[in-house]
């Protein structure tokens, strides 16, 4: 990527708050990708975990749905 865009493709600058929000999103995305990469590297080095050590996906799904429902404001 070039540091300076050409005049034919000039970019619109973001407001400082918007730029900060984009940077925060990029940092969070990078953190999640790093965490996933670490898990995959562990699996590659050590194999899959034992079934007894794993959480069924249905339990994870239900917990996530309950968390999302708790965040949702109640409708009168």
pLDDT in tens, the chain (76 residues): 556 656 668 999 999 999 999 999 999 999 999 999 999 999 999 999 999 999 999 999 999 999 999 998 776 5
- Locate 22 and state its tokens: 């984009």
pTM of the model: 0.59
pLDDT recorded at residue 8: 67
Q: Note whether 29 and 36 are within 8 A (CB).
A: no
Sequence-distant (6+) residues with CB within 8 A of 75 are none
72 phi and psi, to 5 degrees? -75, 130
DSSP H or E stretch at residue 45: helix 16-46
Q: Which residues contact 5 (CB under 8 A, 6 or more apart)?
A: 11
């Amino acid at each position: 990527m070039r540091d300076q865009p050409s005049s034919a493709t000039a970019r619109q600058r973001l407001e400082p708050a918007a730029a900060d929000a984009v940077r925060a999103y990029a940092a969070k995305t990078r953190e999640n990708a790093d965490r996933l990469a670490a898990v995959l590297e562990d699996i590659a080095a050590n194999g899959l975990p034992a079934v007894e050590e794993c959480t069924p996906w249905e339990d994870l799904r239900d917990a996530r749905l309950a968390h999302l429902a708790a965040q949702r404001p109640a409708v009168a």
